[in-house]
């Protein structure tokens, strides 16, 4: 595997060099990863990417090839700086929500507390990994919401932005509810079930469609899915598939499925279902593909399409309708005179003003209903949350919108992954993370999960955190 240590932006190296020159490289700093806006107009996002982040951090190492490359740069970095890099490893703390957690705008789902030298360096890779995988997991979860209990197949490899995107995208899709992938490398690496049929070229490469189907069924008689739209789906493809299904049955085998990959999928699936049923094959499944996404699946189901399984590729793996998440990595506290002090970023765009300080994040669960009623950020660990004292939840944009919750459970979302550079977090299996995601969905009302026009889920600040933010805004607005 390639050394990913230089999977970073040059300005990270330049800032590290400036810290080394001025002797501030060992100062502590706290950064948070969050996003400002939900993708796809969705009501939630699905956190993903932690497994790869852990592997990246564990593998950090500046070897001679990396150091030689830095020597070639026009900045002419001092040899003492390169010697410092030679011994670089992550010695700080990293806290994160588990993969599969539902997350919302402006709340930290990864927190890094480390020497600024290290914390600054890992920004680019962390954002690259978590932005992509969270985006794809969120898209996959939307598709799952539309498909319901139908089987979902990830078919995106050939349209993904290169090999890594294909396998990590397949993993994110499986985490969020897909059932299988066509990518064999993803199947081998992550234990994801794999599934595939055959290409149109298999049919084109034989004298007749029936011959192509027959020879294919003889080769894979226990896993036969036939692609029926190479020539004419209803007058040729399905009838030939039925003939081969009868031949299979004579040998004690059964045709597993047919696949539709073009045309009016609603009409074709209903007619194909009728033909299969009348021929005595009610258990043969119908798989559909062809640039599907959650909107198309939703509409096809509304039209009564008789489709059992959906192959979703391009629009999933590329997140075609929104190809980036926009997650950010912002400094919220820095060391000054031996203490961590909160810092804030002010912006002419109100949504870019940061929330300062070392924060904890809780999911507030109403004990009577068992449902999530809001997320709650505090300045460190505040006793009132831990003791179960009444909480006043208010909208940080419209603070006059308030309510008090009493009978609740505050579930901490950020947990330790690395402590003083040592990995404490034991990664769950992918199937365990997938089950955890399903359990997360069960905590939220349908109004927050729906595909169109979801109800906003509240992310609230404690009174002390809100006051700190307002004080720092006032303080910096006086600076000229």
Quick one: CA dihedral 426, 430, 435, 441, positive or negative? Answer: positive
Beta carbons of 132 and 169 less than 8 angstroms apart: yes
How far is it, in rounded angstroms, from Cα 304 to Cα 434? 29
pLDDT at 479: 58
What secondary structure letter does DSSP report for 237?
A: I
Report the relative pairing of strands 180-181 and 151-154 from DSSP bridges: parallel
Contacts of 133 (CB under 8 A, 6+ apart): 48, 49, 52, 168, 169, 171, 172
Helix axes 123-147, 294-302, angle to 10 degrees: 0
Please state, as a whole number, how many other Cβ atoms lie within 10 Å of the Cβ of residue 201.
9
Beta carbons of 310 and 147 less than 8 angstroms apart: yes
| Of 255, 305, 270, 311, the residue nearest 287 (C-alpha) | 311
Please state, as a whole number, how many other Cβ atoms lie within 10 Å of the Cβ of residue 34.
22
Continuous H helices in 148-291 = 163-175, 184-190, 200-204, 209-219, 238-250, 265-278
pLDDT at 394: 87
* Residue 279 CB-density burial (10 A; 0-12 exposed, 13-18 middle, 19+ buried): middle
DSSP string, 295-317: HHHHHHHHTT---SEEEE-HHHH
- Positions of E strands within 282-390: 285-288, 309-312, 328-336, 339-342, 359-366, 372-379
pLDDT at 480: 47
Low-confidence ranges of the chain (pLDDT < 70): 1, 478-480
What are the φ and ψ backbone dihedral angles of 186, each rounded to 5 degrees? -65, -40
CA distances from 352 to 35, 244, 346, 464 (A): 10, 61, 7, 20
pTM (2 d.p.): 0.96
Continuous H helices in 97-237 = 116-121, 123-147, 163-175, 184-190, 200-204, 209-219
Read off the pLDDT of residues 213-261 as tens digits, 9 standing for 90 and up.
999 999 999 999 999 999 999 999 999 999 999 999 999 999 999 999 9
| Of 355, 362, 361, the residue nearest 332 (C-alpha) | 355
Read off the pLDDT of residues 81-115 as tens digits, 9 standing for 90 and up.
999 999 999 999 999 999 999 999 999 999 999 99
Domains of the chain in start order, with CATH, are 10-136+323-477 (3.20.140.10)
Beta carbons of 96 and 50 less than 8 angstroms apart: yes
How far is it, in rounded angstroms, from Cα 177 to Cα 298? 16
Contacts of 303 (CB under 8 A, 6+ apart): 266
- Positions of E strands within 384-474: 391-394, 402-405, 408-412, 415-419, 422-423, 459-461
How far is it, in rounded angstroms, from Cα 131 to Cα 161? 14
How far is it, in rounded angstroms, from Cα 439 to Cα 234? 42
Buried b (16+ CB within 10 A) or exposed e, 402-428: eeebeebebeebbeebbeeeeeebeeb
User: 194 - beta bridge partners?
Assistant: 181
Q: What SS3 state is found at 260?
A: strand
How far is it, in rounded angstroms, from Cα 461 to Cα 382? 12
pLDDT at 27: 98
What are the φ and ψ backbone dihedral angles of 340, each rounded to 5 degrees? -85, 120
How far is it, in rounded angstroms, from Cα 399 to Cα 404? 13
pLDDT at 478: 67
Here the tokens at position 109 are: 């789902």
Per-chain mean pLDDT for the chain: 96
How far is it, in rounded angstroms, from Cα 329 to Cα 325? 13
């Amino acid at each position: 595997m390639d050394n990913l240590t230089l999977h970073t932006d040059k300005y990270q190296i330049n800032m590290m060099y400036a810290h080394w020159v001025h002797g501030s490289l060992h100062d502590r700093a706290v950064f948070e990863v969050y996003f400002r806006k939900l993708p796809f107009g969705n009501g939630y996002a699905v956190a993903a990417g932690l497994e790869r982040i852990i592997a990246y951090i564990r593998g950090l190492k500046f070897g001679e090839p990396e150091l030689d490359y830095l020597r070639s740069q026009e900045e002419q970095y001092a040899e003492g700086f390169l010697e410092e890099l030679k011994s670089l490893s992550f010695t700080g703390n990293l806290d994160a929500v588990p993969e599969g957690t539902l997350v919302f705008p402006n709340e930290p789902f990864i927190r890094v507390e480390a020497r600024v030298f290290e914390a600054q360096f890992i920004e680019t890779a962390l954002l690259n990994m978590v932005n992509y995988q969270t985006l794809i997991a969120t898209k996959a979860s939307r598709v799952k919401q539309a498909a319901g209990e139908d089987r979902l197949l990830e078919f995106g490899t050939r349209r993904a932005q290169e090999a890594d995107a294909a396998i990590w995208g397949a993993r994110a899709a499986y985490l969020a509810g897909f059932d299988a992938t066509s990518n064999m490398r993803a199947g081998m690496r992550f234990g994801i079930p794999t599934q595939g049929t055959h290409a149109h070229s298999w049919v084109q490469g034989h004298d007749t469609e029936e011959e192509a189907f027959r020879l294919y069924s003889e080769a894979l008689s226990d896993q036969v899915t036939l692609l029926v739209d190479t020539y004419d789906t209803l007058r040729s493809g399905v009838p030939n598939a039925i003939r081969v299904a009868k031949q299979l049955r004579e040998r004690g085998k059964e045709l597993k499925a047919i696949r539709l990959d073009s045309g009016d999928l609603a009409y074709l699936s209903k007619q194909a279902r009728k033909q299969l049923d009348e021929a005595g094959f009610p258990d043969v499944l119908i798989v559909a593909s062809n640039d599907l996404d959650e909107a198309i699946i939703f509409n096809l189901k509304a039209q009564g399409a008789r489709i059992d399984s959906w192959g979703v590729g391009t629009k999933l793996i590329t997140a075609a309708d929104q190809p980036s998440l926009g997650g950010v990595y912002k400094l919220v506290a820095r060391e000054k005179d031996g203490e961590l002090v909160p810092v804030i970023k002010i912006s002419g765009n109100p949504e870019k003003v940061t929330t300062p300080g070392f924060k904890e994040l809780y999911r507030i669960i109403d004990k009577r209903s068992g449902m999530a009623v809001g997320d709650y950020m505090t300045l460190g660990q505040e006793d009132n949350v831990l003791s179960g004292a009444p909480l006043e939840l208010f909208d940080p944009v419209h603070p006059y919108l308030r309510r008090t919750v009493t009978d609740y459970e505050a579930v901490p979302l950020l947990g330790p992954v690395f402590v003083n550079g040592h990995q404490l977090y034991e990664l769950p299996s992918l199937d365990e993370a997938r089950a955890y995601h399903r359990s997360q969905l069960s905590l939220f009302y349908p109004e927050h999960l729906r595909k169109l026009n979801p109800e906003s889920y509240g992310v609230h600040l404690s009174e002390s955190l809100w006051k700190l933010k307002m004080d720092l805004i006032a303080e910096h607005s006086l600076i000229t």
